Amino acid sequence: MKKKTFYEKSRKKWGFFFSLSFLSVIAVCAIFADFLVPYSFDESNMSDKLCGFSRDHWLGCDLYGMDLLSQLILGARSSLFLSLSVVFLTTLIGCFVGSLVTLYSRQLDTFFLQLTETMMALPSILVLLCLGSLMELGPTTLILVLAFTGWMGPARLVRAKLLECREFDYVLSGRALGVSSLRLTFRYLLPNLYSPLLVTSVFGISGVVLTEATLSFLGLGPQNMASWGLLIHQGRSVLFEAPNLSLIPGSLIFLLILSLNILGDRLKRSFFL
């Protein structure tokens, strides 16, 4: 086996350290957003419209005279709240449905596979675009739609792992002692799935962040809360006059998704290699 060079080892360590550090900063900003923002969400001054970097506004202001730094901090909270809510619901639904499928007949399993394949063939972004053209997508509606269109992956993962785990010796011993399949599944098998579900959740968070930013950029996302995608949408018309309005939130979205992917890849290697 070829030994890894010092550059390869340090590159992976620094990448993992950067992802953890950046995610920690974003998490702190999201949790303590109300204490960190210098200005409130609806506080605006049109005389400061598109102002540059200054002592009062460190990163400038947007098209409506709102402080850009405050919008970025509040946008971090919105992105993490939406992504964590969606991932929690999809994982919960996936665990429940995937467990029920393994407990009952093969006919239900066949129907489950056909249903999930059909739903996975329909992109969630297409459903959201259709709904966004018909109605206003609030945070609750967005979370429910993303959860409804995203539970198939965790469910198929749980099904596959449970089909593999139920042939283990301790499961066969439990059945011989008269332990019910329901108790074996929810008490002894599901706790063993935290590793693959954790990896799937990390990658799922990055997908939800990108989806929410895309909808906000198109003007179809929630309009009553701060969003990085909405800031990019504002800045596209004044890209040369105020490039900070688009470049800063765009860079934050890129770094957040990159950090989540690095973390997910590191967890995947740690658990499965």
Residue spans per domain, the chain: 11-35+59-272
From the list 156, 159, 145, 147, the residue with the least C-alpha distance to 118 is 156
Neighbours of 81 (CB within 10 A): 14
- Span of 103-112, 115-124, 231-240 with lowest mean pLDDT: 103-112
| pLDDT for position 208 | 92
- Residue 213 predicted with pLDDT over 70: yes
Q: What is the DSSP string of the chain?
A: -PPPPHHHHHHHHHHHHHHHHHHHHHHHHHHTHHHH-SS-TT---GGGTT--S-SS-TT-B-TTS-BHHHHHHHHHHHHHHHHHHHHHHHHHHHHHHHHHHHHS-HHHHHHHHHHHHHHHTS-HHHHHHHHHHHS---HHHHHHHHHHTTSHHHHHHHHHHHHHHTTSHHHHHHHHTT--HHHIIIIIIGGGGHHHHHHHHHHHHHHHHHHHHHHHHTT-S-SSS--HHHHHHHHGGGTTT-THHHHHHHHHHHHHHHHHHHHHHHHHHHHH-
CATH 1.10.3720.10 assigned to 11-35+59-272 = yes
Closest residue by Cα to residue 213 from 195, 227, 201, 194 = 227
Residue-wise pLDDT tens digits, 162-211: 888 777 777 777 777 777 767 777 777 777 788 888 889 999 999 999 99
Which tokens is 61 given? 């202001």
For residue 128, report the phi and psi dihedrals to the nearest 5 degrees. Answer: -65, -35
- Window from 30-39, 127-136, 205-214, 238-247 with minimum mean pLDDT: 127-136
How would residue 8 be classed by pLDDT, with cut points 50, 70 and 90?
low
Question: Given pLDDT bands bounded at 50, 70 and 90, which one contains residue 29?
Answer: very high
* Chain centroid to CA 162: 25
Dihedral angle computed from the Cα positions of residues 101, 107, 111 and 116, in that order, rounded to the nearest 10 degrees: 40
With a threshold of 0.85, does the pTM exceed it? yes
* Dist CA 52 CA 49 (whole Å): 9
